């Protein structure tokens, strides 16, 4: 009796615990072997709202933009999953790029200790470091797939580029500009010995740059300026826009020139002239990449959507009622199937009995079958 009472209490406790179970996440879409949850869409909405608030978007406009965002949120999540899955299918590797990018971020925020860097990532993003790293990996995979599978197949005939140039020549009249990259070796907080070491490092970097090393990569690896993660890119400058000390060092120089270290308030500045655009009509060769972008940009989004539609056609997709994929492939069946609806084939006892009446063993009727059944079976 005591044993039975204990079992009864155990069962009651289990039932009570089961009754208290709450659904924490609702799956709203299945994309091949992965899922999209309602929480995924809620987090995306919160991030979009926070970004609009950060940009001080007027409330009415922000509300409209959020409504547009929400309408396409499931589409975007499915797009992302399909692109990442395709990247894995194509065996695209981005691990090295991810490690390099994380190292650049760590250097920029100046936290050499790995654990403290992980904590800083969590504080800034609200994500664990591993989740942040995985998110970065997924983004790079998506970008690589788009470049490899979509952009690389979009060609612009040279005659189209030439035609565009001839029809829009007035758009390619240039002011004189100098385009620069920088490396800054900081001297902030350093004593005389530290300043001397910084000057020695700057001199060595100039020597290496003039010897042919890639200036952008050197900036990534060595510069203390905020532009380091962009490879030191400073963009283009018109005459009079630069500080006099800098302008005097670069204005009359041609593409590829690397300055000596320039002593500035916070360190030693090294500049490279990436390009020196002369005033007047730009040549076709100079603006060809710009024209290609202008021609391809309107075609890029339709080409990407076409590619994502093909990925959808090839994918296993189920979407829960009440949710809409605005990028759905036409005629693709994405109806949601509950597990309870997936029933195995069954045969009733009556069907088994009926079937046995017609069985024969090596052509001989099985004892116990009726003559009428034998007649039917023999006539078949």
**What's 176-278's CATH class?**
alpha beta
Q: What is the pTM of this model?
A: 0.60
Q: What's the mean pLDDT when you consider all of the chain?
A: 84
Residue 380's pLDDT band, with cuts at 50, 70 and 90, is very low
For the chain, the structural domain boundaries read 176-278
The answer on pLDDT for 364 being more than 70 is no
Confidence (pLDDT) at 376: 42
Q: Specify the 3-state DSSP secondary structure of 203.
A: helix
Other Cβ atoms within 10 Å of 252 Cβ, number: 11
Q: What are the two backbone dihedrals, phi and then psi, of residue 220, each rounded to the nearest 5 degrees?
A: -55, -40
Instruction: Report the share of the chain in percent with pLDDT over 90.
Output: 62
> Which residues, listed in sequence order, are joined to residue 364 by a DSSP beta bridge?
361
pLDDT at residue number 340? 55
Q: pLDDT (tens digit, 9 = 90+) per residue, 269-318?
A: 999 999 988 888 988 988 898 899 899 989 999 999 999 999 999 999 99
Residue among 298, 270, 137, 93 at smallest CA distance from 198? 270
pLDDT tens-digit series, residues 231-266: 999 989 999 999 999 999 999 999 999 999 999 999
Q: What is the pLDDT of residue 169?
A: 92
> How confident is residue 82, by pLDDT bands cut at 50, 70 and 90?
very high
Return the half-sphere exposure (C-beta side, CA atoms, 13 A cut-off) of residue 263: 4
**pLDDT(349) > 80:** no
Band of pLDDT at residue 369, cut at 50, 70 and 90: very low
Which range is least confidently modeled, 7-21, 32-46, 83-97?
Answer: 7-21
Report how far residue 146's alpha carbon sits from residue 136's, in angstroms, rounded to the nearest whole number. Answer: 16
User: What does the pLDDT read at residue 371?
Assistant: 42
The three state secondary structure string of 306-358 is HHHHHHHHHCCEEECCCCCCCCCCCCCCCECCCHHHCCCCCCCHHHHHHHHCC
d(CA 255, CA 257): 6
| Maximum average pLDDT range among 91-105, 157-171, 336-350, 357-371 | 157-171
């Amino acid at each position: 009796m005591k044993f039975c009472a204990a079992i009864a209490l155990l069962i009651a406790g289990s039932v009570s615990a089961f009754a208290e179970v709450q659904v924490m996440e609702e799956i709203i879409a299945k994309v091949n072997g992965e899922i999209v949850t309602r929480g995924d869409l809620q987090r995306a909405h919160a991030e979009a709202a926070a970004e609009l608030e950060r940009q001080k978007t007027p409330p009415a406009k922000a509300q409209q933009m959020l409504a547009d965002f929400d309408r396409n949120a499931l589409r975007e999540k499915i797009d992302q999953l399909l692109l990442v899955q395709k990247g894995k299918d194509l065996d695209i590797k981005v691990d090295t790029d991810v490690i390099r990018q994380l190292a650049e971020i760590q250097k920029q925020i100046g936290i050499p200790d790995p654990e403290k860097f992980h904590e800083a990532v969590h504080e800034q993003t609200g994500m664990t470091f591993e989740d942040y790293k995985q998110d970065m990996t997924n983004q790079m995979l998506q970008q690589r797939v788009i470049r490899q599978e979509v952009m690389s197949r979009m060609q612009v005939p040279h005659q189209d580029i030439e035609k565009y140039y001839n029809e829009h020549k007035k758009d390619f009249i240039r002011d004189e500009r100098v385009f620069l990259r920088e490396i800054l070796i900081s001297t902030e907080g350093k004593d005389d010995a530290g300043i001397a070491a910084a000057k020695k490092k700057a001199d060595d970097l100039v020597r290496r740059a003039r010897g042919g090393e890639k200036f952008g990569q050197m900036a990534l690896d060595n510069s203390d300026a905020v532009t380091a993660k962009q490879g030191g890119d400073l963009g283009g400058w018109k005459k009079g826009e630069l500080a006099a000390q800098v302008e005097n060092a670069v204005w009359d120089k041609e593409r590829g020139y690397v300055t000596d270290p320039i002593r500035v308030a916070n360190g030693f500045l090294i500049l490279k002239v990436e390009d020196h655009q002369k005033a007047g009509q730009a040549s076709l060769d100079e603006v060809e990449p710009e024209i290609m972008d202008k021609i391809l940009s309107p075609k890029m989004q339709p080409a990407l959507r076409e590619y994502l539609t093909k990925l959808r056609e090839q994918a296993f997709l189920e979407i829960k009622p009440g949710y809409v994929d605005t990028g759905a492939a036409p005629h693709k069946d994405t109806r949601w199937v509950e597990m309870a609806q997936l029933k195995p084939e069954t045969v009733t006892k009556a069907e088994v009995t009926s079937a046995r009446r017609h069985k024969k063993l090596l052509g001989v009727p099985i004892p116990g079958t009726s003559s009428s059944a034998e007649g039917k079976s023999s006539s078949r």
